Amino acid sequence: MHLIRGTHNLHRAQYGCVATIGNFDGVHLGHRKILDRVREQARALGVASTVMLFEPQPQEFFAPEQAPARLMSLRDKLRTLAHLGVDQVFCARFDNAFRCQSAEDFVRNLLVDGLGVRHLVIGDDFRFGSGREGDFAYLQQAGRRHGFSVEDTPTCEAAGARVSSTRVRDALARGDLAETEALLGRPYGISGRVHHGDHIGRTLGVPTANLPLRRLRVPITGVFAVTVNGAGLTDHAAVANMGSRPSVNGRDWRLEVHLLDYQGDLYGRHLEVALRHHLRPEKKFDGLDALRDAIHNDIDNARHWFAREGTTL
């Protein structure tokens, strides 16, 4: 998959495509329905399937403190889009200049002159341009002027309700990983590169692989049974804590993963961690002895859960 970062990197080599536009946070089943249509139309026209997305996401630009928690990092989003067969992603920087452009400038500069869009597939709630003046009807009119066609996609529903990133966040906030997986079409996962931590886990006899989440603040905390891929591992059973580690006065948000029955050096390696079962909320314990006891209890509970699921440890 080819990545185009910023409007200044739009070149004629990428010209001509079937495109869709949005945040695609989580890349849930509703998003996948749109992507299926984009790929289908791109094959029919013999052009590249293209996703246009924004960084930061618009809500993060307008109200960073009130913006919803991200479901995935940009890296994970790009990896997922590549896995789903998208040919190219155009990542536009959402800044003051970008948000001030009119709907007509957006269409002409990006869709027509920038990407050479021949067909556009959008969700049923897409709005764009300064003051959100652009919508589906506007795009249809613009398409007739500039020579591209437009279609919207009907709402994707699951269990009688619309599939959305908000619904996925709500399911995660409740610790409902079964509903989350049903909405995403896959287990919810986070990836990252293993960094050196405080080595407290090693002191307690339960070494962990520490994945700093930096700006990513997912809408879920707690202790989970997880599976790990990467660095030669395939669905390796593990226990993970997601959160700020209040028992050791932690300040940064991170994912700490203890791999069951594993010995090896994972520093600097990239891991993909899939949350499979919620064991308990994150809590503050009184001292390291109490924390050690809780961690060993978490490990026992995770082993029991994996055994019930038929996972070979």
Q: Are the C-beta atoms of residues 203 and 232 closer than 8 Å to each other?
A: no
Same domain, 98 and 192: no
The burial of 291, by beta-carbon neighbours within 10 Å (0-12 exposed, 13-18 middle, 19 or more buried), is given as buried
Any idea what the CATH number is for the domain that residue 95 is in? 3.40.50.620
Same domain, 138 and 277: no
**Residue span of the structural domain in which 146 resides:** 2-158
Same domain, 48 and 128: yes
**What's phi and psi for 14, nearest 5 deg?**
-95, 5
Same domain, 214 and 131: no
User: What ranges make up the beta strands (E) of the chain?
Assistant: 2-5, 17-21, 48-55, 88-93, 117-122, 149-152, 157-158, 161-162, 189-193, 209-212, 222-230, 233-243, 254-259, 270-280
pLDDT at 313 > cutoff 70 = no
In a domain, 31, yes or no: yes
Same domain, 60 and 205: no
Any idea what the CATH number is for the domain that residue 288 is in? 2.40.30.30
Percent of the chain beyond pLDDT 70?
Answer: 92
Same domain, 193 and 153: no
Same domain, 204 and 268: yes
In a domain, 285, yes or no: yes
Same domain, 127 and 242: no
Mean pLDDT of the 60-68 span? 86
Q: Are the C-beta atoms of residues 252 and 244 closer than 8 Å to each other?
A: yes
Number of domains comprising the chain: 2
The burial of 29, by beta-carbon neighbours within 10 Å (0-12 exposed, 13-18 middle, 19 or more buried), is given as middle
Same domain, 7 and 153: yes
In a domain, 272, yes or no: yes
In a domain, 182, yes or no: no
| pLDDT the model gives residue 62 | 87
Same domain, 263 and 192: yes
| pLDDT the model gives residue 215 | 58
| pLDDT the model gives residue 161 | 87
Q: Write out pLDDT tens, residues 245-302.
A: 666 666 677 899 999 999 888 999 999 999 999 999 988 778 778 888 889 999 999 9
Same domain, 20 and 146: yes
User: What mean pLDDT is reported for the chain?
Assistant: 89
In a domain, 293, yes or no: yes
Which strands, in side-by-side order, build the sheet including 117-122?
2-5, 88-93, 48-55, 17-21, 117-122, 149-152
State how far the Cα of 265 lies from the Cα of 281, in Å rounded to an integer.
28
In a domain, 152, yes or no: yes
Q: Is the pTM for the entire model greater than 0.85?
A: yes
In a domain, 139, yes or no: yes
> Which residue bears the tokens 């997922």?
80
- Which candidate, 196, 275, 269, places its Cα nearest to that of 243? 275
Same domain, 151 and 196: no
Helix (H, G, I), strand (E, B) or coil at 270: strand
Cβ count within 10 A of residue 164? 19
Cα 33 to chain centroid, rounded: 16
In a domain, 170, yes or no: no
User: pLDDT band at 59, cuts 50/70/90?
Assistant: confident
Q: Write out pLDDT tens, residues 11-52.
A: 765 679 999 999 999 999 999 999 999 999 999 999 999 999
- Amino acid type, 54: F
- Amino acid type, 311: T
